[in-house]
Amino acid sequence: MNLITVDALTVHNERTLALDNVSFTVREGEFLTVIGENGAGKSTLVRTILGIQKPDGGSVTLEKSINGKIGYLPQQSEAQRDFPAAVREVVLSGGIGQTGLFPFYSRAQKARAAATMEMLGLAAVANKNYRALSGGQQQRVLLARALCAADKVLLLDEPTTGLDPLVTKELYETVSHLSRSHGMTVLMVSHDLAGVLKYTDRILHLKNRVLFLGTAAEYAKTALGKAFGAGEN
């Protein structure tokens, strides 16, 4: 079943054409990686899927079961690295959109946050200040936060920016495990093709339009893939 359907999507950022007639689908349980150079329209695509940015043409259709249930991990900013809160509080805040009229977290939300921290190896630092954590730990906390907002789908925008290679590998393994063992559907934007290639199911290569869409193995054999670093894996 397709959870996300992008059909002939065209988006301008002011007067610049960011996405030109882009079409693809994301299947349930799939790990799809969107790659491309700076300015290729990757982040614009994520914002449009989330409804933050409006298309000028075409459409984005979300399967009704995932409406309001997409976890989003944006590019980490300096402000995000400086959350003055305990890890548990940051993770719990992912469920704030589900509290409705009541400004308190339910027992179920607290249990879900605890289970998510346990799954991501964060239980031991649950009471620590987020600012005191390493970059890799902080990114796992933000991933846990996104999971508390998501039942089925994760959108990750350059989640490994600024992380060292070992931490990057651990994050890819975690995301891959969520997809393959927990049925999570993942759409991830990345520059790091060589690093992510063995974890992702399919590659979407953008340069404002679709240059390639297919399996990671197929992409690695193309001239485009080799030029972009697939041969380095």
pLDDT tens digits for 128-143?
999 999 888 888 898 8
Same domain for 160 and 212? Answer: yes
- Total structural domains in the chain? 2
Based on the domain organization, do 109 and 134 belong to the same domain? yes
3-state secondary structure of 182: helix
Average pLDDT over residues 197-225: 94
Residues 139 and 169 in one domain: no
Residue 75 lies in a domain: no
Beta strands 16-27 and 185-189 are unpaired
pLDDT of residue 101: 42
Q: What is the pLDDT of residues 51-70, one digit of tens each?
A: 999 999 999 999 998 887 88
Structure confidence by residue, pLDDT tens digits, 75-85: 766 555 667 79
Contact assessment for residue 1 and residue 188, using Cβ atoms and an 8 Å cutoff = no
pLDDT in tens, 10-20: 999 988 999 99
Within this chain, do residues 40 and 110 fall inside the same structural domain, yes or no? no
The pLDDT score that the predictor gives to residue 17 is: 96
How many CB atoms are located within 10 Å of the residue 82 CB? 10
Which residue, of 122, 150, 178, is where some domain finishes? 150
Alpha-carbon distance of 180 to 194, in angstroms, equals: 20
Q: Provide the angle, in degrees to the nearest 10, between the axes of the packed helices 165-182 and 135-149.
A: 20
Exposed/middle/buried for 115, CB within 10 Å: 0-12, 13-18, 19+? middle
Boundary (domain end) residue, out of 128, 150, 172: 150
- Going by C-alpha positions, the residue among 148, 141, 159, 157 that lies closest to residue 184 is 148
- Domain of 132, in residue numbers: 81-150
pLDDT of residue 77: 60
> Which two tokens mark 58?
């075409």
Q: Which of 119, 150, 181 is the last residue of a domain?
A: 150
Residues 128 and 180 in one domain: no
pTM of the predicted protein model: 0.84
Q: How far apart are CA 14 and CA 21, in angstroms?
A: 17
